[in-house]
Amino acid sequence: MHSLKAEHTLIISLREVLLQEQNLLVAADIDKLDPLTSRKAELINEMALTANQRHRSLAAAGFARGEAGMEAWLAAHGSDADKLLWHDVLDQTREAKELNRLNGMLINRQLNHTQGALQALRPQAQTGVYGPSGRTATSTFSRGFVAG
């Protein structure tokens, strides 16, 4: 249960970071994302370590690793509070996954917008211009340099 309480704390923290990230993405305040990205990576790493610890504890107690093993352990040994905590961890995890998915969509939208702006700044190639040979010619303008 110690491992599960730690996971619960971590997933709530991750969810808060994802919400902050989403607010920054909506506001297009990209400069403030770096610290959140680092914190998000730290939390995900800590969550993985904590989940692995829980899986090892379940296996040592004779239960399967993962959700099925946790459900079986809770049915055999868990209190109502333990079960509520486990279900809240699962709910918070689903919400965090959805927030992360939405944030990914916001990032892609911002990237597409930036790429569109860059494309608008690039010179457009002229098509349909034919040279003396009858072949399509690309017009390349060269400005000569005259030294005097």
Structural domain of residue 74, as residue ranges? 2-121
In a domain, 144, yes or no: no
Per-residue pLDDT of 47-103, as tens digits, reads: 999 999 999 999 999 999 989 999 999 999 999 999 999 999 999 999 999 999 999
The phi and psi torsions of 136 (rounded to 5 degrees) equal -65, 130
In a domain, 107, yes or no: yes
Three-state DSSP at 128 gives coil
Per-residue pLDDT of 1-53, as tens digits, reads: 788 999 999 999 999 999 999 999 999 888 898 899 999 999 999 999 999 99
The phi and psi torsions of 130 (rounded to 5 degrees) equal -110, 140
In a domain, 146, yes or no: no
In a domain, 129, yes or no: no
The domain tally of the chain equals 1
In a domain, 134, yes or no: no
Q: Which residue has the tokens 């829980």?
A: 54
Whether the CB-CB separation of 49 and 2 falls below 8 Å is answered with no
In a domain, 6, yes or no: yes
In a domain, 127, yes or no: no
Prediction pTM value? 0.74
CATH code assigned at 90: 1.20.58
